Amino acid sequence: MNLIYTFTKKLSKLENLDKIVEVYCESYNNNIRFHNIILYTDNESKHLFEDYFHDIRIKDTGSVYFLDDFKFNILPELTNDDLLFDGDIFLTHSLKISNDTIVCDRIVTNVLKDEFYRYYSDTIDIFLKYNINNVFDFFSKDLEYVPNIGILRFNNQLILNEFLNHYWKLVKWYKDMKIEENHKLIQNDMKVSAVFGQYFLGLFLKHKKLNISYCNENNKYTHLSGNEKFKMNFLKTII
């Protein structure tokens, strides 16, 4: 199985870039013991990893706007032997992956109630203010969980195509409505990408009544999601 890493420095804050590269390289050194690893990146970022990653593939990231755009651009090209995989995950053994329609990292609960995830609620309120329901009738503010997509695979090509059609339609809607110009969600680090990549996927899965498998239920690994990866010496606790 191939673990598919994606990275472009255009989506990273300059002050965090060195730490992110360090985490990616340490993740590679750890996980290559269990699976083959392929890194998709761009010409501007390639030099950051050439001394570590052996299989680097160049992609154009000119159209990348949200954090997960690069991932979703890569998804249609992947095979049944590939698993989309964040570069801040550290394995302890070879992964066991199910054949359910969708495979994700883990479930994240209470995103609309927990103050830690306040950015979900605030972003969704803005979307509703702009009548997103006129575009997606299944969009709502009542989802009890979201799938973390640090690990992601679609085992059904038709479902993947349908989701991606919705996703790119959502991106276009955001731009057409000039939400970024009016609210600066990306600029102000409101984590709007999490609503696009994870909350919207959760809504889609609920709407389609699809089965989903969570990797952490049958595997052991550490995922340095969010700002954990930037903590001083945090890597020393897991490698």
Q: What is the pLDDT of residues 157-179, one digit of tens each?
A: 999 999 999 999 999 999 999 99
Over residues 42-55, the mean pLDDT reads 96
Kindly state whether residues 38 and 85 are assigned to the same domain. Answer: yes
Residues 6 or more apart whose Cβ sits within 8 Å of residue 207: 138
Domain that holds residue 201: 106-145+156-211
Q: Write out pLDDT tens, residues 175-222.
A: 999 999 999 988 767 688 889 999 999 999 999 999 899 999 999 999
Kindly state whether residues 236 and 199 are assigned to the same domain. Answer: no
Residue 79 structure tokens: 């095979």
Kindly state whether residues 9 and 71 are assigned to the same domain. Answer: yes
Kindly state whether residues 112 and 198 are assigned to the same domain. Answer: yes
Kindly state whether residues 138 and 79 are assigned to the same domain. Answer: no
pLDDT given for residue 81 in this prediction: 94
Note the pTM of the prediction, 2 decimals.
0.93
Residue 45 resides in a domain: yes
Kindly state whether residues 223 and 200 are assigned to the same domain. Answer: no
Confidence of residue 10 (pLDDT cuts 50, 70, 90): confident
Contact 37, 31 (CB under 8 A): yes
